Chain A
Amino acid sequence: MIFIKSIYNEVIKIALKPRSYLGIAAITVLVGVILFALKSDGMSIISFVTSSFEQTLSFEGNVLNGNLVAFIILQMLIVQIPLLIALVTGDLVSGEAAMGTIRMLLTQPISRTQLLLSKFIAGGIYTLIVIVWLGFMSVIMGKLLFGSGDLMVLNSDGLVILQEADVNWRYLGGFLVAFLALFTVSSLSICLSCFTDNSIGPIVTTMSIILLFTIIGTLDVHIFDSVRPFLLTTHMASWRSFFEDPLPIQDIKNSILILFIHNILLISISIYVFNKKDITA
């Protein structure tokens, strides 16, 4: 019972902290700008992509539809979302230490493990809210403004055209995997937050790690081949696998497994460190 109350407390604290709304506001503004840009001059962007196929294919109907708009938005924003998540979750433990409230919390009759787990869950709930908002702004608003239609996706193998009726479940799957990836970012930042009493450090370190992993993942250097499949950032892009035809089920399963292992490791390290930690702040 006290664990449930602690989760509720953590959610309330996130909800009442002004910083928590930065992520939602940023998504609203960024998606708004992209939607405005695509509404104003979207067809010229689409023509640029489709021109190379026009000798062999003819495109009919509403190519620039809500499904494509949502896909473009996701592809553009999924790199920025971890920063918005880490901005809130990286502060969950170290922020309490910086404020001094950690002393008050840890003299309450709740175990350190329960308290920390309630922060992980609250971080997960915040991540879910951010991803649901991103989904609403991209898919729902996209469809409202641009209508529905078949989804045309350009990937490394060429052009994939997905039927309109075949898209919604792919978005659902894509968002679930994106949530798992972002929850891993949240776990990473909370884990780093357990090591310090500084509020900003874990946020900056989380972003630095993501940046470093992204660079390692992008560099076509042989030495990184063995580590690349295990990097968090490699699997942050796994939501895209849902828009391939046929669906690469094994790759998706593999990504989910690796992200789960990341979470278990990060949560275990956090619990160990947090339980051992002397509260001198």
Chain B
Amino acid sequence: MSEKIIEIKSIAKKFGLFEAVKDVSFHVNQGDVYGFLGPNGAGKSTTIRCMLSLIKPDSGTIKIFGKSIFTDRNEILSRTGSIIEKPDFYKYLSAYKNLEIFSRLSRVSVGKKEIYKMLDFVGLGGREQDKFSSFSHGMKQRLGIAQTLLHNPDLIVLDEPTTGLDPQGIIDIRNLILRLKNEQHKTVILSSHNLAEIEIICNRMVIINKGVSVVEGDVKALMNNEDLVVRIEVSDKDKSKALIMSQYPNIHITDINETSIELPLEKSKISELNKDLVNAGIGIFSIEAKRKLEDYFIKMVNA
């Protein structure tokens, strides 16, 4: 079994009367690219800020590398690199100078050569002496990643790193995260409100909504393509329901409107059901299959 790098248990945080985080628990194993998924305002950033000691939670425990963030903060942060929301640097300083300033606060010795190498690694080679204020959003994001990686951390926390990037920028960041996982075996936490992004990059994930961690687990298992919710638009809804109930007695059928119903069904059984309905003389106008979690997440986001 993999070593647990992060263990968060029942953290909660209130700002005045507003409960930003009510009850969030999850764990991240070594080598995970862990998705932290939730709609905007779900409490992702607050949870991440609690993890990095920017915000003190009202209750709960946070252990990183087996140590408490409240008592071993500096040791934990010396092994962690992070971008929270967006990388903000000193506008009046160059990319090089900005990295030099932050590298002085790390516990490893980072020289001029390493800074230049890192800037080159994130695609900012040749722009080292340009001021941060002259950078585009994508370049700022790359500089943020350079700062995150400069001291060779074991844990990398990226809070919405692709927000505001163009499609090529998004692909570059995704590829970079995958390189960090595959080539350098880093543990990465990736916060996002984009389910597709998490599905592409992450191996494990947690979904957080209204300050509560709702579901946690393996991305492949949670995003199981076989476990679907099927919406069928038919000519005779009552006859269809009766037919389905006779074949699948324990199934829960939801009425959507006058002509549509929704039911959970395995992918392999969709064509069989289609055939049965047609044979019973029921007209089928449409069949739409959605993955359960995707459906759940979309409902959550739209709520």
Contact A109 B93 (CB under 8 A): no
Contact A279 B90 (CB under 8 A): no
Bound CA span A105–B87, Å? 11
Judge whether A230 is part of the interface by a CB distance below 8 angstroms.
no
Contact B107 A107 (CB under 8 A): no
Residues in chain B near residue A108, CB distance under 8 A: 77, 102, 105-106
Distance of B68 from chain A, by nearest CB (Å): 15
Judge whether A163 is part of the interface by a CB distance below 8 angstroms.
no
Interface size in chain A (residues, C-beta < 8 A): 26
Contact A106 B88 (CB under 8 A): no
Residues in chain A near residue B84, CB distance under 8 A: 103, 107
Interface size in chain B (residues, C-beta < 8 A): 32
Judge whether B209 is part of the interface by a CB distance below 8 angstroms.
no
Contact B102 A104 (CB under 8 A): yes
Contact with B along A120-156 (1 / 0, CB 8 A): 0000000000000000000000000000000000000
Q: Which residue of A lies closest to B13 (CB)?
A: A278
Residues in chain A near residue B93, CB distance under 8 A: 13, 16
With A101-B89, A108-B77, A109-B77 as known contacts, state yes or no: A279 contacts B49, CB within 8 Å: yes
With A8-B104, A12-B101, A109-B105 as known contacts, state yes or no: A104 contacts B87, CB within 8 Å: yes
Within 8 A of A (CB), among B87-130: 87-93, 97, 101-102, 104-107
Residues in chain B near residue A13, CB distance under 8 A: 90, 93, 101
Bound CA span A9–B84, Å? 21
Judge whether B54 is part of the interface by a CB distance below 8 angstroms.
yes
Judge whether A264 is part of the interface by a CB distance below 8 angstroms.
no
Within 8 A of A (CB), among B46-83: 49, 52-56, 73-75, 77-78, 80, 82
Residues in chain B near residue A107, CB distance under 8 A: 52-54, 77, 80, 82, 84
Q: Would you give 23 A-B contacts (Cβ < 8 Å), ordered by A? A: A5-B104, A6-B104, A6-B105, A8-B104, A13-B93, A16-B92, A16-B93, A18-B92, A103-B85, A103-B88, A104-B87, A106-B54, A107-B53, A109-B75, A109-B107, A278-B15, A278-B49, A278-B54, A278-B56, A279-B49, A280-B15, A280-B49, A280-B55
Q: Taking beta carbons and an 8 Å cutoff, which residues of A are in contact with B?
A: 2, 5-6, 8-9, 12-13, 16-18, 99-101, 103-111, 276, 278-280
